[in-house]
Amino acid sequence: MRSCQRASDFIGNKVRSYASVIHPDDQQRLEIEVQQALANKRW
């Protein structure tokens, strides 16, 4: 799938945020996984 969003739209959440393109069904799981990765310094 292609996105019609320009990369510059996401810089500083100028037009939209990265979170705005995450499907609602995936948001909670992704939030948990990101927090765990940050806590364990897995990046």
pLDDT tens per residue, range 21-33: 899 999 999 999 9
- 17 versus 2: the higher-pLDDT residue is 17
Asked if residues 22 and 30 have their Cβ atoms less than 8 Å apart, the reply is yes
Residue 16 inside a domain? The answer is yes
Question: What's the confidence (pLDDT) of residue 35?
Answer: 93
In a domain, 27, yes or no: yes
pLDDT at 4: 76
What is the number of domains present in the chain? Answer: 1
Q: What is the mean pLDDT of residues 2-14?
A: 77
- pLDDT of 43 reads 63
Domain span including residue 24:
7-39
What is d(CA 31, CA 28) in angstroms, rounded to the nearest whole number? Answer: 5
- The total of other beta-carbon atoms located within 10 Å of residue 28's CB is 9
What's the whole-number mean pLDDT along residues 12-37?
89
